[in-house]
Amino acid sequence: MSELDIRELSVVRGGRSILSCVSLHAAAGAVTALIGPNGAGKSTTLKAVVGVVPAFGSLTVDGVDLRQLDPRRRAKAVAYVPQRSQLTAPVTCRDVVAMGRFAHGVGLVRLTGDDAAAVAAALRATDAEHLAERLFPDLSAGEQQRILIARALATGAGVIALDEPGANLDLGHIRALELLLRRLADDGRAILAVVHDPAQVLRLADHAALLCAGRVEARGAPLAVLTSAAASAAFGIDMARECSLIDEVQRRRLAADQSRVAPRPATPNPAVHVAPAAASGSPRSLMIANAFGAGLALVAAIGFALAVRPPSNSPGPSPTGSASFDRANAVLQYLPDGRAVVKGGDAEAVPVRTYQRIASLSIIADSLLPDLVAPERFQAASRWSVGPDAFRLGQRPRLGGADELEAILAQRPDLVVLNSAPGQQAALARLRAADIAVLDLGEARGLAHAVLAMRRLGAVVGNADGGERLARMLVHRMQAVSATLPKDRPRRTAIVLAPTLDKLYGSTEGTSAHDVLIAAGLIDAAAAAGFHDWPDYAPEQILALDPDRIVVPAGKASALRALPALASLRAIRDPAGVIEIDPGLLSNAGPLMADAAEALAAAAWR
């Protein structure tokens, strides 16, 4: 009897969030169906469970952390059955099933008596004994599926994850497969299966979880989940109507089951909880996953010191059912008349509305708004964004500071988002006098500020959950960078410079660049010497710091090395001592901080 517990599972691929804080439970002796539209993240969830794709969050079987297991032990805990096999070699079905014993440290030529017995038992349990000596590529799709399940059984795993069992099978094979899976669950195994056909969900599953856009939108009894409003929204059709042909007995179950649906929580107290460990790793090929039922074990992440904490004195839900944040953290408050506003520290309150014409004067808002609002609501962006952010902004008009009032007013915004600077108060007052809401995110001050900015901006534009997900993802990714660093090598000292023709500007404690250095496993030499924020160094000060590495925007290394005053530095004398990072990453105070940390770690530790 085994059970699988998934908590806060997140996956990022190519800088894009595929799964976000997915939590679900696959109970022993039950079939749990993952349903949802194409691209919802169902197959990715399975691949994250077996270790084929790197993921963050908690994955446990019977309380044992899967991330701490080597691939063989993990394969003995969770077996994976793909939708179809890529195996084309002329291998007998018995040998395919025997691949499941690889998790026990044996090969095809070293099967023990116990291994042979396990293979025979798996063939018998799947009613596939008559197929044992046939070549696997010669089988029909339904017969191949049966052999793949037998291979999973041969591992001895108590949890079996199946990607679309029954896909491309005829009706007879589908019914036989469903009976087999039901029998395996009745024997005490936990079955987690991606299923597209609602009728199959109702026939097969004990529990269901609805995924949409990488999130769990509902979970509970299958019929209740299928006919929920969340399912109709996810599939874009009236699911209750689609299920109207279900027989009368099943429909009577709906009333009893409806109360068991657990919709995705609305995050009553959004807070970025920095877990003591996160997961990261490199994917193995699906061929290895098919043979072993698992990929590389996820690497346990080391803690990452952040000035982020959950609210400690939140007043709880408002009368409208939405939540309040405490003043120091996330700042969603309700006025006596019931209107919602967002504040941060001593910032002026900003009404929570569905703003339709948002103008950004902030680099961090440029990073966040494409993920928080529909494109047509994001009208204008700041002119300072570069790199990946600039590409995402497309052809939107670009704006400067708040003092460029006429250019801002020409966009007719109903919300302006900015990072305040000294001397802008008069301009901000004029914007507010023009009945334009102003969200001041404050000076960009590193990871803790980015987390708060994500939560504040998400709440103001009506997408608090989205802001919370972005914050959690950033923290998880920064942790994951730290987790991949060598533990047996000394940490190097480093500083960040942005040299110009006549200046040696730096970036240290109190900035995003400092947090990037720390996440990449480097010691910020400037911070250790007492520098803060964005110092303008004299050459003598840099000589006194004499760091092992100097990090500069791409294209600046040759100019830095050409400065006679710095020629004696260790970093200048070392061919690998000056590290160039894309300026769009190095200057980013939002989600791309994690990309900067990844790039820096790769260069600093190679």
455 and 529 inside one domain: no
405 and 490 inside one domain: no
Structural Rg of the chain based on CA atoms? 28
Highest mean pLDDT among 82-91, 281-290, 454-463, 466-475: 454-463
In whole angstroms, give the CA distance from residue 522 to residue 311.
30
252 and 163 inside one domain: yes
| Tokens 């964005």, residue located | 534
162 and 270 inside one domain: yes
User: Which pLDDT tens digit goes with each residue over 212-251?
Assistant: 988 998 888 888 888 888 888 888 888 877 776 554 444 4
521 and 464 inside one domain: no
Work out the pLDDT band at 423, boundaries 50, 70, 90.
low
The tokens of 364 are what?
């961090």
Query: Residue 535 falls within a domain, yes or no?
Result: yes
Q: Which of 85-94, 146-155, 243-252 has the lowest mean pLDDT?
A: 243-252
**Rounded to whole angstroms, what are the CA distances from 540 to 526, 537, 563, 565?**
13, 8, 13, 8
> Does residue 494 register a pLDDT over 90?
yes
The tokens of 469 are what?
């997900």
**At 563, which CATH number?**
3.40.50.1980
The tokens of 473 are what?
């993802």
Query: Residue 324 falls within a domain, yes or no?
Result: no
**At 179, which CATH number?**
3.40.50.300
274 and 406 inside one domain: no
Number of domains in the chain: 3
Coil vs helix vs strand at 200: helix
User: Which pLDDT tens digit goes with each residue over 46-88?
Assistant: 988 988 888 888 899 988 888 888 788 888 899 999 887 878 8
In whole angstroms, give the CA distance from residue 462 to residue 432.
20
532 and 586 inside one domain: yes
544 and 405 inside one domain: no
* Cβ atoms of 195 and 201 closer than 8 Å: yes
In whole angstroms, give the CA distance from residue 486 to residue 92.
43
**Rounded to whole angstroms, what are the CA distances from 332 to 317, 345, 453?**
11, 11, 12
286 and 397 inside one domain: no
In whole angstroms, give the CA distance from residue 169 to residue 197.
12
Instruction: End-to-end CA distance of the chain: give it in Å, rounded.
Output: 45
432 and 504 inside one domain: no
Burial per residue of 532-569, b for 16 or more beta-carbon CB atoms within 10 angstroms, e otherwise:
eeebebeeebbeebebbbbbbbeebbeebbeeeebeeb
218 and 233 inside one domain: yes
Specify the pLDDT at position 275: 25
Query: Residue 63 falls within a domain, yes or no?
Result: yes
Rounded to an integer, the average pLDDT of 438-456 is: 84
The tokens of 436 are what?
């334009």
In whole angstroms, give the CA distance from residue 560 to residue 141.
63
Domain containing residue 538: 484-604
Q: Which of 275, 299, 323 is the last residue of a domain?
A: 299
Exposed/middle/buried for 573, CB within 10 Å: 0-12, 13-18, 19+? Answer: exposed
116 and 260 inside one domain: yes
| Tokens 């009897």, residue located | 1
In whole angstroms, give the CA distance from residue 465 to residue 480.
22
Query: Residue 61 falls within a domain, yes or no?
Result: yes
Q: Which of 428, 458, 479 is the last residue of a domain?
A: 479
Specify the pLDDT at position 580: 92
Specify the pLDDT at position 472: 80
Query: Residue 305 falls within a domain, yes or no?
Result: no
Query: Residue 345 falls within a domain, yes or no?
Result: yes
Coil vs helix vs strand at 501: coil
Q: In what order do the strands lie in the sheet with 398-399?
A: 398-399, 378-382, 358-360, 415-418, 437-440
Q: How many CA atoms lie within 13 A of 498 on its CB side?
A: 14
User: Which pLDDT tens digit goes with each residue over 344-394?
Assistant: 444 567 777 789 999 998 888 888 888 888 888 998 988 877 666 666 677
Query: Residue 126 falls within a domain, yes or no?
Result: yes
Closest to 418 (Cα-Cα) out of 392, 444, 397, 394: 444
Exposed/middle/buried for 436, CB within 10 Å: 0-12, 13-18, 19+? Answer: buried
Specify the pLDDT at position 271: 29
Specify the pLDDT at position 510: 82
Query: Residue 116 falls within a domain, yes or no?
Result: yes
Q: Which of 479, 508, 531 is the last residue of a domain?
A: 479
